[in-house]
Amino acid sequence: MIHLIDKLFINNSLTKEELIFLLDNLTESDRDYLISKAYETRLRTYGNTVFLRGLIEITNYCKRDCCYCGIRASNSSAQRYRLTEEEILQACINGFELGYRTFVLQGGEDAYFTDEKLIKIISSIKSKCPEAAVTLSLGEKSESSYKALYDAGADRYLLRHETATKSLYESIHPNMSFENRIECLKDIKKVGLQVGAGFLIGLPNQTNRDIVNDLIFLKELEPHMVGIGPFIPQKNTPLRDEKGGDSHTTITLLAIIRLLLPNVLLPATTALGTIDSSGREKAFKAGANVIMPNLSPFECRKKYALYDGKVFTDTESAEEKKKIETKIKEAGFEPVLSRGDNITWKRI
Ligand code: SAH
């Protein structure tokens, strides 16, 4: 096993069979070694920095019906909201004044936000918050839309593939196409945006083989960012009674991803922090190097309920930022507010 981990550390790749063997047989002491190698790798690529990104949840209207997600279209208990252009811009300006230099606009797939509206929003953020990076996470679009958003100044786009096993994907995404999701990720990369893929851990019936499909897919796509987190059941969804993912597996997988993709930007996600209060600090030690504090207006935070138990602080953003920075420092890392682009990326 140690030999296998060394091989992963040196070559940044393993075969499918080797990855399955690794996941099936990893002992606690092997895992400690794996995590130490992931830590060594992150020190070499991004040092001990943790990048802070301001997250703004712009809408919870969604036309999709993902079976795990609390803002799915069929959830009639969800209280829907959408921020106005002014509210989005104001949230960015507030964040910019606190020092944030990346804003992540995330939401459901909401037809209200046309390309035209998004282009206007991106342009105004870019003019009021010069030098700041804009990341979008608004679901599946056409290649021409991704291109238009990139041309308007968007820098990055997050679209988790959710699971790389077609049958599992289709069982939890009614009326969605696995092939289209993958096409979108390729299009995002092709137009020049930094692309973020990623998957859910602990989905019903998900096996280590499915997870290895995710790892192989990520290695092939070579995204600039990877977002992974535990699936957490949400009470108004068809998967309400399922078990969900755990922190231990999530952290093991963060370490493996750091070794497979040494240059990747890898967030310690809110979902991980939700199921394990010290999960994010453990994640930094296993190779994660991004955290996304919430800058959404307070009134909408509890409505963006993708899963149960999501922490809705109504702490002032300034205070929240300080708290997070203190936690990062206490864990032995350095909080950084700069754009924090992937070190291999340049705007073309
Ligand atoms: N509409 C956008 C953003 C979706 S929300 C898109 O399609 O990309 C962002 C992420 O939250 C999703 O990609 C999904 O992986 C995650 N998510 C949704 N429901 C979840 C749940 N119940 N538990 C954990 N993560 C969840």
Which atom, in ligand 1's list, is nearest to the CA of 109? 1
Q: Could you tell me the domains of the chain?
A: 2-334 (3.20.20.70)
Which residue among 55, 67, 68 is best mutated to probe the pocket of ligand 1, counting the most ligand atoms within 8 A of its Cβ? 68
pLDDT for residue 311: 79
* Amino acid making up residue 305: A
Whether the predicted model's global pTM rises above the 0.85 cut: yes
**276 CB near ligand 1 (under 6 Å):** no
For residue 121, the surrounding DSSP H or E stretch is helix 115-128
Q: How far, in Å, is the centroid of ligand 1 from the Cα of 238?
A: 15
Q: How far, in Å, is the centroid of ligand 1 from the Cα of 29?
A: 32
Q: Tens digit of pLDDT for each residue in 74-96?
A: 999 999 999 999 999 999 999 99
Q: Tens digit of pLDDT for each residue in 300-345?
A: 999 999 999 997 777 889 999 999 999 999 999 999 999 999 999 9
Distance from chain centroid for Cα 249: 17
Q: Tens digit of pLDDT for each residue in 85-141?
A: 999 999 999 999 999 999 999 999 999 999 999 999 999 999 999 999 999 999 999
* Amino acid making up residue 277: S
**Cα atoms in the 13 Å half-sphere on the side-chain side of 225:** 29
Question: Could you tell me whether strands 54-59 and 229-230 are parallel, antiparallel, or unpaired per DSSP bridges?
Answer: unpaired
Beta carbons of 48 and 332 less than 8 angstroms apart? yes
**pLDDT above 90 coverage of the chain, percent:** 97
**39 CB near ligand 1 (under 6 Å):** no
pLDDT for residue 315: 83
Q: How far apart are CA 261 and CA 267, in angstroms?
A: 13
CA angle 20, 232, 62 (to 5 degrees): 110
* Amino acid making up residue 259: L
Q: Tens digit of pLDDT for each residue in 150-192?
A: 999 999 999 999 999 999 999 999 999 999 999 999 999 999 9
